Amino acid sequence: MGTPRAAATARAALAGLPELVRAKTVALYSAIGDEVPVEAIAKAVRGRGGRTVYPVVVGPELELAPDPARTERVPVAEVDLFVVPALRFDRVGRRLGRGGGHYDRLLARRRADAWLVGICYEDRVIDELPEDPWDVRMHVVVTDRGVSRPGAP
């Protein structure tokens, strides 16, 4: 469940990832519903001289902007690490989003060496989710109970 303590624990695990610490440009998200809030991560990335970008819906696609309100766009290829929310993740890094396929289409355009980090509360991680050919798996999944690394770029 998304308690303040669980959110803080998940954020601390995310902040400690060496991949995040090394990333110059990090794609984050503005939390909705019961997603783990990541504003503190954004401040930490910017505080060390990194850049944060956010997904914005443009028609059927997600594009990236310096913040959700700006019209300036950042090429997907500039992102070193994506932090991705989900309704559910499974043990091999599959994710269940909100049904529009926006993130899968965005992540399909990433650089091959860009890291994909899912974040959610542990009670949202299940054994197995169905997978479609266009689904993009996470390399790392962070929860309030720790970090799992089902894949790597």
pLDDT at res. 1: 63
With H, G, I as helix, E, B as strand and everything else as coil, classify residue 3.
Answer: coil
Q: At 151, is the pLDDT very low, low, confident or very high (cuts 50, 70, 90)?
A: confident
Tell me if 63 sits within 8 A of 55, measured CB to CB: yes
Write the pLDDT tens digit of every residue in 80-112.
999 999 999 999 999 999 878 899 999 999 999
Which CATH superfamily does the domain covering 4-148 fall into? NagB/RpiA/CoA transferase-like (3.40.50.10420)
Residue 92: CB atoms within 10 A of its CB come to 15
- Between 17 and 1, name the one with better pLDDT: 17
Write the pLDDT tens digit of every residue in 22-58.
999 999 999 999 999 999 999 999 999 999 999 998 8
Q: At what angle do helices 4-15 and 39-47 cross, to 10 degrees?
A: 30
- In the chain, where are the structural domains located? 4-148
Report which of 117, 63, 112 is spatially closest to residue 85, judged by C-alpha positions: 117
pLDDT at res. 153: 66
